[in-house]
Structure 1
Amino acid sequence: MNKIPLERKMKQKIFGLLLVLSTVLVLTGCPNDTKPLSNNADLSALTVNIGSLSPVFAADTTAYTVSVPNGTSSITVTGIQADHTATLSTNNGVSLDLTVGDNPIILTVTAADGSTQDYVVTVSVTAAGTSADLSALTVSTGSLIPAFAADTTAYTVSVPNGTSSIAVTGVQADTTAVLSANNGVSQDLTEGDNPIILTVTAADGITAKDYVVMVGTDYYSSNIGILMYVPAGTFQRDGVSAENTSTVSAFRMSEKEITRDQFRAIMGAEPSNTTYSNGTTDPVQIVNWYHAIAFCNKLSIAEGLTLAYEVPGVTFSTLTYGNIPTSRDDDWDLASANWTNTGYRLPTEMEWMWAAMGASSDSIGGDIVDGVNTGGHAKAFAGSDGSNAIGDYAWYNSNSGDKSHPAGARVSNELGLDDMSGNVFEWCWDWFGTYPTGDETDYKGATSGTSRVIRGGGWHNNAPNCAVAYRCGYEPNRQIIDVGFRVVRP
Structure 2
Amino acid sequence: MKYTTRLLCLITLLISGIGFGQNLPKFVHVQGGTFTMGDEWGSGNKDQRPTHEVTLKSFNISQTEVTVAQYRYYCDATGTAMPKEPGWGWQDNHPIVNVSWQDAVNYTNWLSDKLGQKVRLPYEAEWEYAARGGNKSKGYKYSGADGIDEVGWYDGNSGKSPQAVASKKANELGLYDMSGNAWEWCMDIYGGDYYANSPKNNPRGEANGDANVIRGGGWHIGASFSSVAYRYGSPFTGEVYEYFGFRVASDKKE
TMscore range, shorter length: 0.7 to 0.9
Does 2:147 align with 1:395?
Answer: no
Aligned to 1:231: 31
1:289 and 2:101 equivalent?
A: yes
Q: How is 1:171-320 mapped onto 2 (pairs within 5 angstroms)?
A: 223-238=23-38, 239=40, 240=49, 244-268=52-76, 269-276=81-88, 279-303=91-115, 305=116
What is the alpha-carbon root mean square deviation over aligned residues?
Answer: 1.7
SS in 2 for 1:478: coil
- Tell me which residue corresponds to 1:418: 176
Seq. identity, %: 34
- CA deviations on 1:388-439 (whole Å, 9 max, x unpaired) are x311200000000001111111111000000000100000000110224475
Contact 2:31 2:134 in 1 (8 A): yes
Contact map agreement 1:228 1:253 (CA 8 A) in 2:
yes
Q: Distance between the aligned counterparts of 1:468 and 1:403, measured in 2?
A: 21
Structure 1 runs of 4+ aligned residues shifted over 6 Å read none
Are the counterparts in 2 of residues 260 and 270 from structure 1 also a CA contact under 8 Å? no
CA distance in 1, matches of 2:223, 2:75: 32
Mapped contact 2:50–2:196 kept (Cα < 8 A)? no
Change (3 A) 1:280 1:249: same
8 Å Cα contact 2:149/2:157 also seen in 1: yes
Query: In the TM superposition, what is the alpha-carbon distance from 1:270 to its structure 2 partner?
Result: 2.1
Cα deviation, 1:27-73, whole Å, max 9, x if unaligned, reads xxxxxxxxxxxxxxxxxxxxxxxxxxxxxxxxxxxxxxxxxxxxxxx
Q: Given the two structures, how large is their TM-score scaled by the length of structure 2?
A: 0.79
- Whether the 8 Å contact between 1:276 and 1:404 is mirrored in structure 2 is no
SS in structure 1 at match of 2:119: coil
Whether 2:134 is the aligned partner of 1:359: answer: yes
Secondary structure of the 1:469 match is coil
Query: 1:267 corresponds to which letter in structure 2?
Result: C
Q: Residues of 2 paired with 1:344 and 1:223: CA distance?
A: 16
Q: Which residue of structure 2 lines up, in the alignment, with residue 462 of structure 1?
A: 222
Deviation at 1:278, TM superposition (A): 6.5
- Give the C-alpha shift of residue 226 in structure 1: 1.9
CA shift for structure 1 position 282:
0.3
Structure 1: stretches of 5+ with no match in the other structure: 1-221, 306-341, 365-378
With the length of structure 1 as denominator, give the TM-score of the two structures.
0.42
Seen in structure 2, the aligned counterparts of structure 1 residues 277 and 432 have a Cα distance that, compared at 3 Å, is: farther
Letter in 2 for 1:232: G
Q: Aligned partners of 1:437 and 1:228: how far apart in 2?
A: 30
Contact residue 260 and residue 272 of structure 1 kept, 8 A: no
Matched residue, 1:485: 246
Question: Which of structures 1 and 2 has the bigger CA Rg?
Answer: 1
Provide the C-alpha distance between the structure 2 equivalents of 1:459 and 1:284, rounded to a whole number of angstroms. Answer: 13
Which residue matches 1:407? 165
Paired residues in the alignment total 214
Distance 1:277 1:382 in 2: 27
Q: 1:296 to 1:245 in 2, by over 3 A?
A: same
Distance in 2, matches of 1:472 and 1:229, equals 26
Of Structure 1 and Structure 2, the greater strand share is in: 1
Gaps of 5+ in 2: 1-21, 41-48
Q: Are the equivalent residues in 2 in contact too, given 1:459–1:482 (CA < 8 A)?
A: yes
- Once the two structures are superposed, the pairs formed by residues 331-350 of structure 1 within 5 Å of their partners are 342-350=117-125
User: Secondary structure in 2 aligned to 1:441?
Assistant: coil
- The aligned counterpart of 2:143 is 382
Would you tell me which structure has more helix in proportion to its own residues?
A: 2
- Residues 393 and 278 of structure 1, relative CA distance in 2, 3 Å threshold: farther
| Equivalent in the alignment of 2:19 | none
